[in-house]
Amino acid sequence: MSEEIINDHSRRIVDLKLRDVLIKEQQKRLKNFITTQSTVASGDAEINAEEELKSRLYYHLKSREEYSMVGHLNTVYSRLYMAQQQRRPMKIYCRIVHPDRMTESFRQHWLQESLLIMRFIRHQQQQQQQQAQMNEQRLHRLLSIVHHADDDRYYLFMERISLSTSLSHVICNHNDANDESPFRLTNVILKQWLLQLCLIIESLNVSGIAHRFIRPENILVNLSGNHRILVTGFDMACFFHSYETDQPILQPKRALPNDAIEDYLLDHLPPECFLDHYDACNVDVWSIGTIICLLKTGNNPFSPNVNNGNVNSCYGDDYNHLNIWRSCWERRTMTEEWRTLLDDIFQESDYRMTVFDLKSDQRLLPHADLSMLKTKKPYYRIDLKKVSDINVNEKEIKKTGAVLSKIQLAYPEFAAATRSIFTTQSHQQIENEQQLFQEKHFRIERNQSFTEEFNAFINDYYLRSSYRLEDIDSWETGLVKIFSMNHLPNRHKNILLNESGKIMKYLSGQMMKQEKECSISIVTNHIHRLIEIFRTTTTERSHLFLFYESLFGNRSLANIFSSTECRSIWPSIIQIKQLLLQLLDVIDYLSRHAISHRYIRPEYIYVDNHYTNMKLGHFEMACFVWNPLDRRPTLRHRGLQDEREHVWNHLPPECFNIKYDSFMVDVWSFGTVLLYCLVQKNPFNVPHSDQQAEISWSTFKQQQKHSSSLYIPTVLLTILNLIFQPSDARIKITDLKRRFSSLNLMVTTDRKKKSPSLISSLSTAAATSLNSNISKLSRISRWKP
């Protein structure tokens, strides 16, 4: 697999070097044009009266007074009017621009930069037309620029495409439930449009030009057979690279040059545009991302809230585009291919996917599927200035400008059992719930009370069930969890059916095998056993039923430590060590089978009444960290598939990257559980980076030095320091088990004056609880930092 990644990396370098040659050629053309043909006299016509348009230039504006305004093709600044070329009878568009009505800064930008760019584009189009290459150019073709000297206004005559409309009109109709138009926006058409849009923007970028106004209003589409699109509206276009100095040209003003523009027309811009002196080279690819959002969901997550009474300042310094994208409903409801693509686009400028890479991305192929996504390698940027040779090694890849902090190309071999997990059938198909009882001998006891067993569940939702297994005559009492598949996001369904379901079924099979052999192991003792998974086949009301063993006589750690009135019967430090050693055994077992649990929290660790045995539950987000079939690491997309970020404060910082390696996640989560057992605190606020986590942990350690309620024994603090590290420096599970098992907590005597009974129990060490006033019915969703 390493060889394949290096070959792909080398191919990308070759493509970028070819692009670099094209950029140099375009810079020469631009320099030659500016020095020889950019004046008005060489390319524009000038008139003193509007009648000269028809008499001298053979342009006729339809309906002289109203100019027959074209409804759906209007851009946000000036309108497109119908016109006609008399010399060759053809219908065209005309834009009438009044520079004297613009603000001073906008007028200067339009005359000195936008108009120059439009002339250069026209010059390029004329050359391509002479070389019969017009089909390659998809910018809105500018036929002529006419300057009215007396009124100081410009007439921009442009080509007209038949059966065309603006993309904003398409989006509006596509989202209208009552739309009876025969046109349907399919995935194939959408990708065809996006590919054309990428080619258009790339043709500008190689000339050092940024459009900066890629909005649905400025994209014209032909809804007939060829689905051609054109980009218009170059009022905000700018040069972002100097052909003279070969350096970026920083934009002097925030956002766009027009001071009077409304905030709702800025929702296509990336975060760097709201800073002083920004580089515009990667602005347009972000705008393409907002177009994808609009086409897929009908919404732009970055649109300002016009009802907040503070519209003029909604894009201030405190407006966080990246956090908005990560938490928005548009992201949660998208399919995997679009979500991952937008995750690569909605990034800081230095890490954002480029238009050049976007146009060749596999996810824009017409028939991209889930199997292709599983084999796709994570996106990372390549900086040619940092690449010395095409034949690079693995270390060379890590030195380039990458989205990820690292790309792991080698893994240890995992147990052969991992292959059998991959081939495990995750569930049985049934027609309806009645078949559960009649044929499968499973029953959901919807009217039965949990009685004392209710204490075990915090933030987990079970019903009581009963089941009868083969070769057993009696009915056993159990639990059942029901998922309505029609209401789950696609990525949540995928993890249940393709990964966590297989993992739970494999673990269940191991338990049954060991029970028959009368053997005791980590699996049988310390994992909440899944009995069976069923899925109904009816698409209208598809459900997934997960039947578990009973947890009678067990309580979760969160439930135990949230009862401050029963602090006297909390487990002692020795009992906590014993329970957490069992948890480490489970994590180690999962790790050796290339499995990451990813949801190790106090709510899902169930302990018996004597504090001698624990069971780890809630495997719904468990995933593979390694694909044994092609020896490839499986990088996960940001966060967890249940999209409940408010309960992710047990996750390490790498989980909030675009893609992350889940191999070391459970070690960090173990540290948060240990900390909770000691002081009922979690100091981490999510989402967080490595730097933010380091600050949070350092601040907490300073606080615990001066508070007896936050006291942590020195030997355990050392362990926590080794856990709360970046993933590449974090202590490995084998070393953690060895260190933790060798702890001699009986001799922990430092600060005895403040905590004299530490050896016997933790009752004096915890003055802060989760929230003693929260009732059991409230389903505690997180422990507070």
Nearest to 444 by CA among 469, 467, 461: 467
Amino acid 746: pLDDT: 59
What was the pLDDT predicted at 162? 66
Q: How far is CA 591 from CA 48, 513, 584, 588, 655, in A?
A: 80, 21, 10, 5, 17
Query: What is the rounded (10 degree) CA torsion for 8, 10, 12, 13?
Result: 170
pLDDT at 438: 73
Burial of 86 per CB tally in 10 Å (0-12, 13-18, 19+): middle
**Cβ 504 vs Cβ 619: under 8 Å:** yes
DSSP, collapsed to helix, strand or coil, labels residue 478 as strand
Element (H, E) at 148: strand 142-148
Residue ranges of E strands in 26-77: 45-47, 59-61
pLDDT at residue number 286? 96
Q: List the single range of 139-143, 581-585, 773-777 with lowest mean pLDDT.
A: 773-777
pTM of the shown model? 0.54
DSSP code string of 320-375: -HHHHHHH-HHHHHS-HHHHHHHHHHSS-TTTSPPHHHHTT-GGGSTT--HHHHHH
SS3 category, 560: helix
pLDDT(322) > 60: yes
DSSP codes joined into one string, 703-748: HHHT-GGG---HHHHHHHHHHSS-TTTSPPHHHHHHHHHT--GGG-
Bigger pLDDT: 411 vs 211: 211
Q: What is the pLDDT of residue 380?
A: 82
Helices of type H across 75-213: 104-109, 115-130, 167-174, 187-205
pLDDT classification of 749: cutoffs 50, 70, 90:
very low
Instruction: Quote the tokens at residue 712.
Output: 């942590």
pLDDT band (50, 70, 90) for residue 378: confident
Q: Residue 585 in 3-state DSSP? A: helix
Burial readout 712-733 (b: 16 or more C-beta within 10 A, e: otherwise): bbebbeebbebbbbbbeebbeb
Across 101-115, average pLDDT = 89
706-729 mean pLDDT: 88
**Is pLDDT of 758 > 60?**
no
Q: For 331-343, how does the pLDDT look when each residue is reduced to its tens digit (9 = 90+)?
A: 877 887 888 899 8
Confidence category of residue 766, pLDDT binned at 50, 70, 90? very low
What is the Cα–Cα distance from 161 to 227, expressed in whole angstroms?
11
Q: In this structure, are residues 190 and 174 in contact, taking their beta carbons and an 8 Å threshold? A: no
Compute CA distances 405 → 6, 41, 380, 398, 657, whole Å: 17, 53, 10, 8, 9
Q: Give the least confident one: 266-275, 353-362, 510-519, 674-683.
A: 510-519
C-alpha to C-alpha distance for 115 and 483, rounded to whole angstroms: 58
When mean pLDDT is compared across 8-12, 76-80, 97-101, 421-425, the lowest value belongs to 76-80
36-70 residue pLDDT tens: 765 544 567 888 888 888 888 888 776 544 444 44
First to last CA, the chain: 41
Token pair 């991959």: residue: 422
- Indicate the helix (H) or strand (E) that contains 97: strand 90-97
Q: Is the CB of residue 62 less than 8 Å from the CB of residue 83?
A: yes
pLDDT at 116 over 80: yes
Angle of helix 115-130 versus helix 2-36 axis, rounded to 10 = 100
Residues 6+ apart with CB under 8 A from 28: 243
* Residue of 100 and 372 predicted with greater confidence: 100
Q: Is the peptide bond before 687 cis (omega within 30 degrees of 0)?
A: yes
pLDDT at 453: 52
**pLDDT tens, 479-508?**
888 888 888 888 898 899 989 999 999 888
| Helix, strand, coil percent values for the chain (each to nearest 5) | 40, 15, 45
What is the pLDDT confidence band of residue 578, given thresholds at 50, 70 and 90? very high
Question: How confident is the model at residue 87, as a pLDDT?
Answer: 67
Q: What's the pLDDT score for residue 176?
A: 56
Say what angle helices 665-679 and 714-723 make with each other, to 10 degrees.
150
CA–CA gap between residue 299 and residue 319 (Å, rounded): 18
* Position 410 pLDDT exceeds 70: no
- 624 within 8 A of 648, measured Cβ to Cβ: no
674: Cα within 13 Å, side-chain hemisphere: 28
User: What is the spatial distance between Cα 63 and Cα 159, in angstroms, rounded to a whole number?
Assistant: 19
Mean predicted confidence (pLDDT) in 156-184: 70
Sign of the four-CA dihedral 77, 83, 86, 87: positive
Q: Is the pLDDT of residue 425 over 70?
A: yes
Strand, coil or helix: what is 566?
A: helix
User: Which of the residue ranges 397-406, 415-424, 508-517 would you say has the lowest mean pLDDT?
Assistant: 397-406
Residue 259 pLDDT level (bands cut at 50, 70, 90): confident
Q: Torsions phi, psi of 250, nearest 5?
A: -80, 135
Summarize pLDDT for 534-555 with one digit per residue, the tens.
998 776 678 899 999 988 888 8
- Average pLDDT estimate for 250-258: 86
Q: CA-to-CA distance for 349 and 591, rounded, in angstroms?
A: 36
Give the pLDDT confidence score for residue 431 in this predicted structure: 80
Most confident of 380-384, 427-431, 619-623: 619-623
> Mean pLDDT lowest for which of 568-582, 746-760, 768-782?
768-782
Lowest mean pLDDT among 14-18, 19-23, 426-430, 727-731: 426-430
Average pLDDT of 266-270? 91
Q: Are 288 and 198 in contact (CB under 8 A)?
A: yes
Q: What pLDDT is attached to residue 684?
A: 94
Find, among 678, 682, 687, the residue nearest to 714 by Cα: 678
Residue 617 is predicted with a pLDDT of 92
Q: What average pLDDT score do residues 511-530 get?
A: 80
Q: What integer is the mean pLDDT of 599-615?
A: 92
Taking alpha carbons only, the member of 127, 102, 124 closest to residue 112 is 102
What pLDDT score does 369 carry? Answer: 66
Which letter does DSSP use for residue 565 in this model? G
Beta-bridge mates of residue 80? 95
Query: Which residue did the predictor score with more confidence, 36 or 775?
Result: 36
pLDDT band with cut points at 50, 70 and 90 for residue 456: low
The model's confidence at residue 183, banded by pLDDT at 50, 70 and 90, is low
- pLDDT tens, position by position, 637-664: 999 998 888 899 999 999 999 889 898 9
Backbone φ and ψ for 777, nearest 5 degrees, come out as -70, -15
Q: pLDDT at residue 784 above 60?
A: no
Evaluate if residue 146 carries a pLDDT over 80.
yes
Using alpha carbons, list the distances in angstroms from residue 528 to 466, 606, 622: 16, 8, 13
To the nearest whole percent, how much of the chain has pLDDT over 70? 76
Number of C-beta neighbours around residue 543 at 10 A: 16
Give strand pairing partners of 445: 464
pLDDT of 770 reads 31
Domains of the chain: 40-160 (3.30.200.20), 164-379 (1.10.510.10), 417-778 (1.10.510.10)
Return the pLDDT at 686: 92
Whether the pLDDT of residue 387 is over 70: the answer is: no
Identify the band that residue 346 occupies on the pLDDT scale cut at 50, 70 and 90. Answer: very high
Q: Which of 49-58, 524-533, 587-596 has the lowest mean pLDDT?
A: 49-58
The mean per-residue pLDDT over the stretch 111-132 comes to 81
Confidence of residue 371 (pLDDT cuts 50, 70, 90): low
User: What residues pair up with 220 in beta bridges, in sequence order?
Assistant: 166, 230
Q: Give me the chain's average pLDDT, please.
A: 78
Asked whether residue 412 carries a pLDDT value surpassing 50, the answer given is no
